[in-house]
A and B are shown apart, each in its own frame.
Chain A
Amino acid sequence: MAAELHVALVAADREVWSGEATLVVARTTSGDIGVMPGHQPLLGVLESGPVTIRTSDGGTVVAAVHGGFISFADNKLSLLAEIAELSDEIDVQRAERELERAKAEGDASAERRADVRLRTAAVS
């Protein structure tokens, strides 16, 4: 069994992150799922939520992902997302403002997106 897997985190308009990792945790519609090297081929629908990637050099990459897919085969993992942001790219103040606004307007999906951003930013 290979000790690491290749991860590509791809947003609709750019490649957000790619590299080697030992563990990837993502949230699918049926719950959190952890993928380690040698996992069986998988194709799942992602929910809005944070994705945690443990890189092979011991670091951790956290990204907020909004809608998309996870697909894994041949030790290659692709995370496809319409919108994906690394935790250090997230503008906390803007996300907070958005959360306030979404709450005021009762926009559940926007509220969730802002919430995910904030929690992702808080992890790192």
Chain B
Amino acid sequence: MNLKNPNEKGRFGPFGGRYVPETLVPACNELEKSFIDAWNDDSFRKELDSLLSDYAGRPSPVTECFNLSSELNCRLLLKREDLNHTGSHKINNVLGQALLAKRMGKKRLVAETGAGQHGVATATAAALLNMECCVYMGEVDVKRQELNVFRMKLLGAEVKSVESGSKTLKDAVNDAMRDWVATVEESYYCLGSVMGPHPYPWMVRTFHEVIGTEARKQSEEILGTTPDVVCACIGGGSNAIGIFSGFIDSDAELVGVEPAGGAAIGRGVPGVVHGMESFLMQDEFGQVLEAESISAGLDYPGVGPEHSYLSSTGRARYESVTDAEVIDAFQLLSRSEGLIPALEPAHALAWVSREREYLTGKTVLLNLSGRGDKDVGQMMEILNV
């Protein structure tokens, strides 16, 4: 059994939908049709599969953390999405969407980015497929992720610094949507997470299901059964939904870990922004609050609608960790296993580390969604090195 598809209105239970300006409705309809058509076309699937293996380096391995496991008294496995080309899981979705964009005859990719991982992945795919690329990134993130900004430029993309609102991911999404409204005929909006208007949450999830499919097989080979706990960090929630998808029908407890300063499920209530109905951090009037997190990639006040649904049905639970716990976890994994994680998956590890008592004796599969090279500069400042 897999995750359910949304209904014809793009809803997972009550969540999801398509709340976009009229200008974009026909584009969303066209995208939905094109995606379904492509996904049912063997030649599209073959082309994507070969890019994922020969270009992105899939399958990514699962690594058992012997040192950390003995320290935490659990059996910890990492799904190594950090080993993908461009350094995170983002490439899975981007290759799928970029191929789709090409198939739809689009010449330009528009994307938003927080930490820059999705922006780098999009710029990479644009370079590979010979498309134009324009990435919107909040001014705050441009500063704290300057390495990724340079990578995008090297790859030939234009990076536009967004100076409105909180100057982070939320506002980058706003500007990317505004760009799309103006250029909808030639541009393809390559959204970076399982969020936005239908069909994005469903389509992006579908492109990331490869994580869960591989991890299910790999963890069963290592453990002889499915893990007790599968956990992942949550911003919009794409890496989490990817790995959850492989275990939805297992007994595994599914845990999404949000940053305390951007805990849409933990601190939000249902709302509508960026095309979707989902949990959202907002004030009493419905103004969206600014998320505050050490990790640019999770600095988002909303969450993908399918996570709101999985939370409401109880199939997954959502916890949050503080920046301080994340800083500790970042160093813990680096020292104990020789793996420098991105700050985003360090959230998931922070939860594992904090809940070590609860996890004692259990098998835990954690999605290591990205590597930490991009965060080293920021950590140098934080740790006063």
Mutual binders A and B:
no
B residues adjacent to A (C-beta < 8 A): none
